Chain A
Amino acid sequence: MRGTANERRPWTFYALAAFFVLFVLFLYGPMIVIYVLSFQGPNGGLTFPLNGVSLHWFHALIAQERTGDIAGAFRRSIGLAAMVTIFTVVFSVMAGLAFRRRFAGASMVFYMAIASLIMPGLFVSLGIGLVFQSLNMQPTWYGSALGAQLTWTLPYGLLIMFAVLGRFNRAYEEAASDLGASNWQRLLYVTLPIVLPGIIGVALFGFTLSYDEFPRTVLTAGSTNTLPLEIWAMTTNVTSPALFAVGTVTTVISFIVIAVALTSIALIQRRRARRAGKANESTTVS
Chain B
Amino acid sequence: MASDSRNGEIELVSVTKRFGDTVAVDSVSLRIPHGAYCCLLGPSGCGKTTILRMIAGHETPSQGDIRIGGESVVGRPPVRRGTAMMFQAYALFPHLSVLDNVAFSLKMRGVDRAARQKQARELLSKVRLEQFAERMPAQLSGGQQQRVALARALITNPRVLLLDEPLSALDEYLRLRMRGELRRMQKQLGITFVHVTHTQLEAIAVADILVVMEQGRIEQAASPNAIFDTPRTAYVARFVGGQNVLSGKVESVADGIATVRASDGARFTVPLRGAKPAPGSQLFLSIRRDRIEVAKTGSDSAVADEVNMVRGQIHSIEYQGSYAKVTIDLARAEEFVANLSDIEFGRTPLEIGDHVLARWSTADVCLLEGADGADQKAYADAELMGG
Contacts and interface: CB of A to CB of B under 8 A. Distances in A.
Nearest to A174: B58
A174 B56 CA distance: 10
A136 interface: no
Given A171-B91, A190-B93, A275 B136 contact: yes
B351 interface: no
A279 B85 contact: no
A190 B91 CA distance: 11
A180 B105 CA distance: 6
B109 A180 contact: yes
Interface residues of A, number: 27
A278 interface: yes
Nearest to B80: A180
A276 B100 CA distance: 13
Contact-residue bracket for chain B: 20 to 34
Contacts of B109: 180
Interface in A234-286: 272-273, 275-276, 278-280, 282-283, 286
A194 interface: yes
A177 interface: yes
B131 interface: yes
A279 B79 contact: no
A178 B107 CA distance: 13
B132 interface: yes
A112 B135 CA distance: 45
Contacts of B323: none
Interface string A191-228: 00110000000000000000000000000000000000
B158 to A, nearest CB: 10
Contacts of A180: 78-79, 105, 108-109, 156
Interface in A174-188: 174-182, 185
Contacts of B85: 174-175, 178
B135 to A, nearest CB: 4
Contact of A182 (B56, B83, B108): B108
B249 interface: no
Interface string B117-160: 00000000000000111111001000000000000110010000
Contacts of A175: 85, 87, 91-93
B66 to A, nearest CB: 16
A189 interface: yes
Contacts of A185: 108
Contacts of B105: 179-181
Name, among A178, A189, A190, A272, the residue most crowded by chain B CB atoms within 10 Å (CB to CB): A178
Nearest to A175: B91
Nearest to A171: B91
B58 A286 contact: no
Contacts of A6: none
Contacts of A174: 58, 85, 87, 91
B134 A286 contact: no
B376 interface: no
Given A276-B139, A279-B134, A176 B104 contact: yes
A280 B140 CA distance: 11
Interface in B75-118: 77-79, 83-85, 87-89, 91-95, 97, 104-105, 107-109
A122 to B, nearest CB: 43
B382 to A, nearest CB: 27
A169 interface: yes
Interface in A155-175: 169, 171-172, 174-175
A283 B132 contact: yes
Given A171-B89, A178-B56, A286 B136 contact: no
Nearest to B81: A178
A272 to B, nearest CB: 6
A286 B135 CA distance: 14
A185 B93 CA distance: 14
Contact of A178 (B78, B89, B95, B132): B78
A171 B58 CA distance: 10
B129 to A, nearest CB: 11
Given A193-B95, A275-B134, A282-B134, A178 B139 contact: no
Interface in B168-227: none
A178 to B, nearest CB: 5
B58 to A, nearest CB: 5
B49 to A, nearest CB: 12
Given A194-B95, A276-B139, A179 B79 contact: yes
Most chain A CB atoms below 10 A, which of B87, B89, B133, B153 = B87
A275 B108 contact: no
A182 B80 CA distance: 12
Given A171-B88, A180-B156, A190-B93, 20 more contacts: A169-B91, A171-B91, A172-B94, A174-B85, A174-B87, A174-B91, A177-B79, A178-B57, A178-B83, A179-B105, A180-B78, A189-B104, A272-B136, A275-B97, A276-B97, A279-B133, A279-B136, A282-B134, A283-B131, A283-B135
13 contacts: A174-B58, A178-B58, A179-B108, A180-B109, A180-B156, A181-B105, A194-B93, A272-B136, A276-B97, A276-B134, A276-B136, A279-B132, A280-B135
